[in-house]
Amino acid sequence: MILLKTKEEVELIRRAALLVGKTLAEVGRYVKPGVPTAFLDKIGEQFIRDNGGIPLCKGFEGFPSALCISVNDVVVHGIPSETLFLNEGDNVSVDCVIELDGYVGDSAYTFAVGEIKPEMQRLLKVTKEALYLGLDRCKAGNRLGDIGHAVQQHCEKNGYSVVRELCGHGVGFKMHEDPNVCNYGVNGTGPLLKEGMVIAVEPMVCMGSKNVKFSKEDGWTCRTKDGKPAAHFEHTVAITAQGPDILSSFEFIENK
């Protein structure tokens, strides 16, 4: 069931989502060659708790860390590690979900580590563009399939593919609510978008083929099957009659 949020509730979700944006910016300051991903997780968790938030990934179905940190061919759900060091030219996606005063925000950003190759720059650029094209469709009266269609079209037009196994989702009262927000779809299909719906739109985009595999050892790490890089950007958005009200923000990362 899709739960609608009141205007007051949307404002409380915005507070949580903005803390996610600030956390991603704080973590981003430490994205450098030689840094182990577990260090980024430590910085993020401390920042979240110092600001009164709860890192919801930690302990979710046994996930061990506050943040999902996914390098290169890891699409999403990478587990931070003391022995995985960032290298010049990597991309690293940081995904963060925070509960603040009972409301939940979710956002992710893919950072470049040092200088990255033009082909990696293009993957990040197109994935972020796909996110905003999906968000543009988040208007009351549109349909859920319009969002996936916009994301898929843009990625495939640029020679990339979108993951099918994992999707965006409703968010706000809990980390995962109905509906699933797929990164593929057909215009004019799926549930009607209504004012008060709050969803996480999160394109997971592969440079090569769309096929992914999940680690048998940890049960979480999702990698591209062909070993090519992937990128992931995510915002929490409220649907209004006027269009998208993006509740999370990359402003803290990009306008520092």
Smallest separation, CB 44 to Mg ion (Å): 13
Q: Are 231 and 122 a contacting pair, CB within 8 Å?
A: no
Binding track over 77-96 against Mg ion, x by CB under 5 A: ------------------x-
**What is residue 221's DSSP assignment?**
-
If one asks whether residue 135 binds Mg ion (CB under 5 A), the answer comes out as: no
Within positions 154 to 213, which residues make up the interface with Mg ion, using CB under 5 A? 200
210 versus 235: smaller Cβ distance to Mg ion: 235
Smallest separation, CB 7 to Mg ion (Å): 23
For residue 100, give every residue at least 6 positions away whose Cβ sits within 8 Å of its Cβ, in sequence order, or none: 12, 15, 16, 19, 51, 52, 53, 54
If one asks whether residue 99 binds Mg ion (CB under 5 A), the answer comes out as: no
**How far apart (Å, rounded) are the C-alpha atoms in residues 118 and 178?**
37
If one asks whether residue 106 binds Mg ion (CB under 5 A), the answer comes out as: yes
141 versus 230: smaller Cβ distance to Mg ion: 230
Element of type H or E holding 156: helix 144-157
159 versus 191: smaller Cβ distance to Mg ion: 191
Smallest separation, CB 200 to Mg ion (Å): 4
B/e letters for 179-210, b = 16+ CB within 10 Å, e = fewer, are bebbbbbeeeebeebebbbbbbbbbbbbbbeb
**How far apart (Å, rounded) are the C-alpha atoms in residues 12 and 9?**
5
Smallest separation, CB 91 to Mg ion (Å): 16
Judged by the rule CB under 5 A, the positions of this chain that interact with Mg ion are 95, 106, 108, 200, 234
